[in-house]
Amino acid sequence: MAAFVHARGLALVRFAVALCGDRVLGEDLVQEALAKVVRRFGRRIEVERPEAYLRQVVVREFLQWRRRHRPVADLAEVPDVADAVGTGEPDQRDAMWRFLAGLPKRQRAVLVLGFYEDLPDDEIAALMGCSTGTVRSQRLRALRALKLHPGLAEVADAVGHVQEVRHD
């Protein structure tokens, strides 16, 4: 487990930060996920794809946390994951980060898993514990909201084009 955390821990934290919008909370989500996995399996993860399993635990921890706590996004420091959402201009990055922070938790998770992690719909559905239809509907709602956001319409068009290419 220690070797795995050393090799992939930073990637898990970046993923969690993209989900929750807060570096400290992202680290807490990963730590809680690792603690749950250790309680369940001990120091050896007995699953076929340990990183995918840990990401699933992180996603579920995030979804549960968002149910229990009022959403808060620390926008003072925009994490480096902002480039992963397909924009490079600082103002656009900040606007995109604020947009993601304001999305409902499921829509945000779908966008982060689909565009930051580049996962297909079936894997997103498995991680979130829902159907692929739910994944697609949550993505569609998020992209519709993105098109209405001032200054981000061209990003929405680019993202929509990526989706068309993926499904062709």
Q: With 90 as the cut, is the pLDDT of residue 139 above it?
A: yes
The domain boundary, picked from 38, 68, 98, lies at 68
Average pLDDT of 41-57?
Answer: 80
pLDDT score at 159: 62
**CA 64/CA 41 separation, integer angstroms:** 21
- Each residue of 4-47: pLDDT tens digit? 788 888 999 999 998 888 899 999 999 999 888 888 877 777 77
Count the Cβ atoms, other than its own, within 10 Å of residue 28: 16
Q: What is the pLDDT of residue 130?
A: 93
Residue 75 lies in a domain: no
Phi, psi of 44 (to 5 degrees): -115, 120
Split at pLDDT 50, 70, 90, the class of 132 is: very high
**Cβ–Cβ under 8 Å, residues 127 and 56:** yes
> What sign does the CA torsion over 109, 77, 86, 143 have?
positive
Q: How many domains in the chain?
A: 2
Q: Which domain holds residue 33?
A: 2-68
Q: What is the pLDDT of residue 78?
A: 41
Q: Do 55 and 103 reside in the same domain of the chain? A: no
In this structure, is residue 101 part of a structural domain? Answer: yes
Backbone angles phi, psi at 103, to 5 degrees: -75, 150
Q: Which two tokens stand for residue 85?
A: 């959402």
CA nearest 27: which of 68, 65, 82? 65
Residue 24 has a pLDDT of: 92
Distance separating alpha carbons of residues 58 and 62, to the nearest angstrom:
6
- Give yes or no for a contact between 15 and 112, defined as CB atoms under 8 angstroms apart: yes
| pLDDT surpassing 70 at residue 115 | yes
